[in-house]
Structure formats: structure tokens, C-alpha cells
């Protein structure tokens, strides 16, 4: 099973891919999202998103600043004010 993950900034869509898990730096604390996660929305704090293509395994980390994350039946969408690799 795979989670559809999108990382978007005001300028462009940076990622749209199937992954195993993503750990997001939410304003209330880090949270992990996998396929089948309940609907959820959170603002982001400045930090790093950890993208796991396989789990366990080493994640790819992407720095983000501001924005919010939404988990829906379609997957996880992170709308970041800034993001870099």
C-alpha cells in the first residue's frame, strides 16, 4: 500500500509521488502519515519533512517553512510557504 504525497509551494508543485510514510513538522508536534490515515489538518512549523519511500529505511529530508498539511482520502498534501532540498 502506498500514500500519495504532494509538496506544493506558491511557485510550483515540487513533489507528487507514492511513498510509504511521511513525517511532518506540525505546529503541535511531529506526526507521521501512512496510507489509510484519518482526515487531519495542521499548520506547519519550520522544520524538515521526512519522506520514507520504504519503511524501515533512511528518509529523504526536505526543509519547509510555514504553511499547512492536509490528510484526506486522496493522501497527504503539504502546502509550504518555502521548501528546499
Residues 56-70 pLDDT 10s: 889 999 999 999 999
Residue 57: its pLDDT value, please?
87
> Which CATH number belongs to the domain containing residue 38 in this structure?
2.60.15.10
In the chain, which ranges are continuous DSSP H helix?
Answer: none
Domain count for the chain: 1
Report the Cα–Cα distance between both ends of the chain, in Å, rounded: 26
Residue 85: its pLDDT value, please?
58
Residue 13 sits in which domain range?
3-84
Amino acid at each position: 500500500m502506498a500514500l500519495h504525497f504532494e509538496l506544493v509551494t506558491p511557485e510550483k508543485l515540487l513533489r507528487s509521488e507514492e511513498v510509504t510514510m511521511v513525517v511532518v513538522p506540525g505546529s503541535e508536534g511531529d506526526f507521521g502519515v501512512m496510507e489509510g490515515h484519518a482526515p487531519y489538518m495542521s499548520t506547519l512549523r519550520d522544520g524538515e519533512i521526512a519522506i520514507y519511500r520504504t519503511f524501515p529505511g533512511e528518509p529523504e529530508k526536505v526543509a519547509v517553512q510555514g504553511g499547512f498539511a492536509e490528510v484526506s482520502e486522496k493522501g497527504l498534501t503539504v502546502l509550504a510557504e518555502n521548501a528546499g532540498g
